[in-house]
Amino acid sequence: MVQNDKKKKKKREGSDAVITLDRVSKSYSSGSPALDNVSLTIKKGEFVFIVGDSGSGKSTLIKLLLRELTPTSGRVIVNGADVARLKRRQVPKFRRNLGIVFQDFRLLNDRNVYENVAFAQRVIQMPTKLMRKNVPNALAEVGLAGKYKAKTKQLSGGEQQRVALARALVNEPPILLADEPTGNLDPKNSWEIMKLLERINEERGTTILVVTHNREIVNEMKKRVITMKKGVVISDEEKGGYIDED
C-alpha cells in the first residue's frame, strides 16, 4: 500500500482506534446470529464495560477479537490487523497484543504463582535476566509479591484471579480483554480486581474491555458501557450505567 492510501485508511478508521468492528455478524448455525451487524470503535486507552443478558453475544465478541473465531461477515480490526485475514502462522504474534482474563482463572494448578506468570514470558522467549525482573514486577503490581512460591490451589479465588491478571499483563500488551473476571468472586474481591484494572488503565494506558454482570460496579465506575441484546448493541454510553429492563 502506498503511504497516501495508508493515511486515508487510518483517517477513515479513526487514527486512535485500537479495535474496530465494521458490520460484524457471526452465526454458529442456521438459527439467529450470535452477533448481528455490530459496528463499534474502541480507542487507545479506553476502559469499556460490555454488559447484557446471558446469550447476548458478549463472549462471541471477545472470541472474535482473539481470533478464536472469525466473523461470518464484516471486518474485525485489532491493533491495525484485519483479524480474519491473518495467516495461521501470524496468529501467535498477533495475540501478543492481547492480555486475556477469564472467569475461571485458567491457571496451571501444578505450578506455583511465579511459574504461572513466567509461563507467559517463556512463550515470547523473554531472556531469563529480564524475566526475573518482569515477573516480580507484575506480581507486585497485583499485590502478590509475597506469594510467588505458593501453589495456585492454596490461594483464594481473588488471589488466583490476580495471578491470572499478572500473567495477562507481564508481557505489557496494549489491550486487555476480561470475560466476566469477577464472575466467581465475592463483592470485596470483585471490587479489588476492578480497581486494579482501572489503575492499570490509568497508569499504563492499556485499553481495557471488561465483560461483566456486576451491576453495582458498572454503575459506580462511570466508564463507557456497551449494552448488548440478542447479538445487537442496544446502547453505548460514555460514563454509562447498567440498563434496567423488563
20 binds ligand ADP (CB under 6 A): no
DSSP 172: -
What's phi and psi for 47, nearest 5 deg? -120, 120
**CA 7, 12, 14 angle in degrees (round to 5)?**
90
Residue closer to ligand ADP (CB basis): 3 or 29: 29
Closer CB to ligand ADP, residue 134 or residue 182? Answer: 182
In the complex with ligand ADP, which residue's Cβ is closer, 51 or 208? 51
Distances (CA, A) of 224 to 23, 113, 153, 210, 221: 20, 33, 35, 10, 9
Q: Which three cell numbers stand for residue 234?
A: 442496544
Cβ closer to Mg ion: 59 or 160?
Answer: 59
- What angle is formed at CA 94 by the lines to CA 142 and CA 195, rounded to 5 degrees? 20
Confirm if 147 and 113 have CB atoms less than 8 A apart: yes
Among 9, 15, 55, 187, binds ligand ADP (CB under 6 A): 55
28 lies in the binding site for ligand ADP (CB under 6 A): yes
Single residue of 20, 56, 59, 214 touching Mg ion by CB under 5 A: 59
Shortest distance (Å) from residue 70 CB to ligand ADP: 13
Least distance CB 178 / Mg ion (angstroms): 12
Residue 227 interacting with ligand ADP (CB under 6 A): no
Least gap, CB of 56 to ligand ADP (angstroms): 4
> Is there a contact between 218 and 212 (Cβ–Cβ < 8 Å)?
yes
Contacting residues toward ligand ADP, per CB under 6 A: 28-29, 34, 52, 54-60
